Structure 1
């Protein structure tokens, strides 16, 4: 079991330090050893510059009628007779642009993503976000599937989904059939809370070992921790609340000598742990606050990289719906298996509130931040 360097020195992280590297802290006389939570490289606002998507706007300058949006029927990306051969060969799909009679070019998703439901399953949005985030991590890092350690059912199902030879729809069906029980008709209904539909299947793959040690009498106890529900208190930052969730001692006072202050908490990461899901739904975090969520968590020298965040659309009168968002190279990717297309590039996280496929304008909050082992 390896120990973790000290940091934080007995204070909360002020809001001004959001988006910076965060080390661990000692609260009063409590010595908590935890490496770091950092968000290096993340944007500091909801607005992110995006590689330009060619729209059907008109050209400016001489020889065109009108200014501003430009002349009708012409475009910086398309001619009057449609997109150029180069644009068609690039894989971009033409679509009609606002203020133009010609088509506009929409950048296609960078990788294939699953659609809502399956050949014999329904309400799969509870797993679709997680599966899409894993595909996104694989898109960024081709070696990712081979870092999924273990031969247990959940890990094997994830690995097969990522690198199997069947098409994506079949691989999703196999993932569901290997982990969930069919109903009386032989189908699968995955209606429920994502936190249980996913995390109940992977307790051993998400375990952090916590050792509590009293510095007064020497009492010590070790327990596994695999449920990480973040509950922000007023004045807390998102990173400090996540730290408290992972590293908090499981005794407020020593069971043996009743000491409340002199205690030491040591964290370690088992070899088979490759996933760290942090449930944010109890903290009511708006999607526009996603840049404040750490991009990296390091525990006992083991780093976990943020793959993506699932979102919950709280439909008070129905069962709700799940989507997800990812980030790479100054680009936000929004996924909802019920949309057409299911994945879209967005420039600003505020756009997420307008993405509800049913147009119910329900409140959308961050659900689970999925971190994947990097070493």
Structure 2
């Protein structure tokens, strides 16, 4: 009797509050809001089966209600049943995921971006600064990592045996990598302002979308280069010349995809210049037996990760008429990447041997080669999201190798 009384009053409450019941319906899809069995319209069916169906509906409703427990609400474990507004994606386990780098998308910063595109730029920077931060790709730090790691490797290799690398140099080169990568992105967007609007992944970049004018982009580039000059002037004279010469590569790289199918190789020459510069900044000269194999390994590494990255845009590149190793290799991409991966690991082994690194380096080198093998043989080159995930994972390749060089230097 008590259960019937509660059911009647709860039904009256829902009927008297249509707004409440309609607002709850998206979250609680009650297949039968009335727990009292109705008269059986089919005389051939059993009353017991009718009651079982009603009881099942009631139990299903209780399971939906249970998704609002404190633990599930806190960690978003409601899955596809409990979705709090459009645009918030949930994973297969129901946990909300958001990774700006994995999405491979840019928002210009002028209009309020969608929920899934929000980043720290939108949360913490003034509205006027957001387009410039996006122009420098500050919300996508993977490029900075890929530019910084060869510098860190070289600086650590140049340290005295049994000693830690120069912390000041690591900090200077880390800051320089952030500034130079941002300047490179600005140059790229200025030179590609006729191409970017035609490519799905790049059409919302600040200059391509018209949020920033080319003059504003050029002014911002001057500001970035001025800050980079402040970093370069803190190095020795040989390193200043060597560092300034890298600007020729930085400025000419965006043009390579119009001229050759090997722009990724040219990017490798540009992004791994720090393998030469880091050693020079510490030692004041170059040791070809150590830094040249390190530089070659970095170029081969870049050919691996940037070819994977280029497979995201191969359809658009064909339409626009630009070139890449992804188009050059085609169905033989994994075979080519395997060759570059072998050359990368072999050059790293030679560089470490010539630098007299201890055994921990070779253990880390084996782990790094395993990571590279995993990338090459598991990447789905027809899936943009997977290509981007594998590309982003290269920050861990650089970290593994840095740890191996550090431990190898301390144990030598």
Provide the TM-score with structure 1 as the length reference. Answer: 0.27
Higher share in strand? 1
Which of structures 1 and 2 has the bigger CA Rg?
Answer: 2
Which one scores higher on RCO, CA 8 angstroms, separation ≥ 6?
A: 1
Provide the TM-score with structure 2 as the length reference. Answer: 0.25
Higher share in helix? 2
